[in-house]
Structure 1
Amino acid sequence: MASLVRTATILLSAPAALAATLAAAVTPVVKSTTSYGVLSNPGLTRDSCSSNLWNNNVLWVCRDTEQLNSAGNPVLPVVVNTASYSSMPNSPSNPQPLSLTSPQGFGSPFYPLESDECPTFGACSDGTRWVGWPDTGPVVTFRGSGGNTNAYAFMSRNHLSGLSQINTPSYSLYHLLSQSSGPMPSVSLAVSSFWSSSQIGYGSAASVVMNGYAYLYGATPDGKLALARAAQTGFLGALDDKSLYEYYVNGAWTRTAPSRTASNIALPNTSSAQGTIYWSPKWNSYVWIGGDGFPNANFYISTAPNPEGPWTAAARFYTGTVGNGSLGAYSTVAHPSLTDGTGNYIFITWTRTNKNSAGVEVYDQPLVRVDWQ
């Protein structure tokens, strides 16, 4: 049954592949924007959240998370990543804050730290810290009936002293699985250091599943994106078999993985600042939405007829308000998971720090709907 469903997906997406190849460059224009307030995280303060459509819910995965006490102040421990579900947003005629709920409760990280990463919370005895900070949502490779969902996440193994990185990270592969629509998905470490520290962390920056492939983007040292793809021919679209991978190098696909410092892997007009890539039927194009990084909430958009490009020069289409805390704004993220899939609109969030009534900084994420002309 799984192979039948997967084959149907590939056949249905074939016209999209032809349309994408023939698509002309697109210049998106904003029609209107609607504020939905800030994401509601009852009892929690959470950093940098991304989302995926998951069963009948939306799965959110966030970075550093703390509980709030009765005074609204954060208390230890800091959990390096957590997950929640939400429903879909209301219509723009009645915009309401979106509430994130956590059926698993507060405690261990959603993506567990590895044995050499000072688990459970990453705080090491020498004062350094390992952080399991996802830059994007998991790659969903299969959705079936009854809540069955299969996905993978590529996580950077970051070791920090303060906020300074003290290692060149490798990237581990995690496996997510749901067999019913109620509980949070189970998460397990599939392959530690799936990508070595000398390789690009494909899949850790952005991803899109289309036309029988999982297209996986990773950051280059000069702040652009490199691209690999994995054929969705394994069981439930498994991503743990490197024999299924190809890499976009010097304008062509090859079976040989390049080094992270290779000069011919960066895609022109791309940026590895936290962003999102998705397919838009409205424009017959792939879309990248991201920002220019701390301390701003400037949103940019770029389009391409194919996952590898050519990508248009990114154009700014929205600027969000910054917080009054020390971190201003960052983590500009788009959420195609919150839409109807037509491409007529998109939801965006960014992360801020704001001071509460006691002058203590907490995170929040404004949610805005952008409708296109």
Structure 2
Amino acid sequence: MLNRLCLASLLAAAALGTPVERRDDTQPVGTNPIKNFHTDFLGEQKSSNSCAGRDLGFTGQLGGKWYGVYGDTNWCAQGVTDPDKNPAGFHGIVRDTVALMGNNPLSIQDYHLNGDTPVAHPLQFIPFNSAWGETNLYGFGGTSICETTSGVGAVYYLVNANDAGLKGAGVAKVQIVNGQPTVTQRFGNTGWWWQSSNTPRYGDVAALRDPKSNYIYIWGGAPTSVSNFPDNQYVYMARVNAADAFDLTKYQYWWGRSQGWKSNVLTTFTSDTAVFWGVGQGQIVWSDYYQTYIFVHLSGNNVVLRTATSLEGPWTPDVTVYTATPLASGAYVYAGVAHPYLDTTGQTLTISYTNNAAVIQVIKVTFSK
């Protein structure tokens, strides 16, 4: 009887035009275990074999090595070896690159270098395809490489046609060719699977090869058709068995904690089917130290961490571990990146983030209980 009365009340409220409070699975729940810590600023991340300004750099593992996937990579002028000394002006750009991560988070090794001398510059990682109407100006907002089977990885990205808008989110196969991670195939009839106008932009916010299961999890923002605030700030989730990452029919979509996982593509974009609200691009890692997942992201200029024992949530409130200083007036600080391979115990977590669109800064957080 109570359920029937509640339903009748909701229907009556809807008929009268009264706003109905809906479930919100994005609200923080519980207590964040990260309480005691100190944070050290380490410096700026630069290339050991090239010279460019860049952003993002989401890390992922493939074949026992860790790689970073970067966004817009602005080449420095011919012969410049230090981006801090680069003269003003445009010297060349590619929309994404890939680099090897090592034991020093301040130094990366670029791959797919061109023939420029005396300093070679990185070429594009996710290739544009002119047969699909793409040009070298198209953006491919990639996140972490996720290993599917031994030596084969998937990289998720968002196709950005600039003035023409966002096209869709897709996945590409990554294999090691001549010692370098190389995109060998992009999937979908036009290079993407999930149309941005009516489907979440899966993989654009974050991607994770879950070390606690056989799944790859991907997170993406609301479709472009959802333009009203606050609904346009929700983030949605999908997953797939890692070995099936290149088969669209094998993906599952999170319909919220009240409905769970479904094979049907998500079509309802509200707080009860979302997992996050108002977060930018970030990275999720498993912490052996806390026995929980940690989501690294930025809130304004603050590097913040939230935790959950399940990727489906609920997630705890954010804890601020560092406040960055923007490098210029009006500059943005964004894209939290985790480097978990530097300390597998999880007692420390090295984090990088982008400052002013072309500088990557690095901090190290040391936890204590």
The two structures have a TM-score, normalised by structure 1, of 0.74
The answer on 1:31 being equivalent to 2:29 is no
Matched to 2:86, the amino acid is G
1:336 is matched with: 339
2:91 is matched with: 76
Rg larger in structure: 2
Deviation at 1:176, TM superposition (A): 0.7
2:358 is matched with: 363
Q: Secondary structure at the match of 2:326?
A: coil
Check 1:274–1:327 CA distance in 2 against 1; reply closer, same or farther (3 A cut): farther
Matched to 1:104, the amino acid is H
The answer on 1:203 being equivalent to 2:203 is yes
The answer on 1:63 being equivalent to 2:71 is yes
Deviation at 1:247, TM superposition (A): 1.5
Deviation at 1:196, TM superposition (A): 1.9
Q: Would you identify which runs of 4 or more consecutive aligned residues in structure 1 move more than 4 Å?
A: 116-120
Equivalent residues of 1:51, 1:335 under 8 A apart = yes
Equivalent residues of 1:109, 1:120 under 8 A apart = no
Distance in structure 1 (CA, Å) of the matches to 2:133 and 2:92: 14
Deviation at 1:239, TM superposition (A): 0.7
Distance in structure 1 (CA, Å) of the matches to 2:256 and 2:285: 23
Distance in structure 2 (CA, Å) of the matches to 1:40 and 1:67: 12
Listed as ranges, the matches of 1:345-364 within 5 Å are 345-353=348-356, 363-364=358-359
Matched to 1:312, the amino acid is T
Check 1:364–1:98 CA distance in 2 against 1; reply closer, same or farther (3 A cut): same
Listed as ranges, the matches of 1:1-373 within 5 Å are 25-41=31-47, 42-69=50-77, 70=80, 72-73=86-87, 75-89=90-104, 98-105=106-113, 106=121, 108-115=123-130, 119-122=134-137, 130-134=138-142, 136-143=143-150, 149-161=151-163, 166-178=164-176, 182-191=179-188, 192-197=191-196, 198-208=198-208, 209=210, 210-220=212-222, 222-232=232-242, 237-251=243-257, 252-259=260-267, 261=269, 264-267=272-275, 270-292=277-299, 296-324=300-328, 328-353=331-356, 363-373=358-368
**Unaligned ranges ≥5, structure 1:** 1-23, 90-96, 123-129, 144-148, 354-361
Deviation at 1:301, TM superposition (A): 1.2
Deviation at 1:335, TM superposition (A): 1.5
Q: Secondary structure at the match of 2:98?
A: strand
Distance in structure 2 (CA, Å) of the matches to 1:110 and 1:239: 19
Distance in structure 2 (CA, Å) of the matches to 1:263 and 1:348: 29
Distance in structure 1 (CA, Å) of the matches to 2:184 and 2:69: 12
Deviation at 1:262, TM superposition (A): 5.1
Distance in structure 2 (CA, Å) of the matches to 1:245 and 1:87: 33
1:358 is matched with: none
Q: Secondary structure at the match of 2:249?
A: helix
Q: Secondary structure at the match of 1:243?
A: helix
Equivalent residues of 1:86, 1:99 under 8 A apart = yes
Q: Secondary structure at the match of 1:222?
A: helix
Q: Secondary structure at the match of 1:215?
A: strand
Check 1:65–1:76 CA distance in 2 against 1; reply closer, same or farther (3 A cut): same
CA shift digits 1:217-276 (9 cap, x unpaired): 1223532321212123xxxx1312133222211321112111263563112x55431111
Check 1:225–1:29 CA distance in 2 against 1; reply closer, same or farther (3 A cut): same
Check 1:26–1:272 CA distance in 2 against 1; reply closer, same or farther (3 A cut): closer
The two structures have a TM-score, normalised by structure 2, of 0.75
Equivalent residues of 1:111, 1:187 under 8 A apart = no
Q: Secondary structure at the match of 1:201?
A: coil
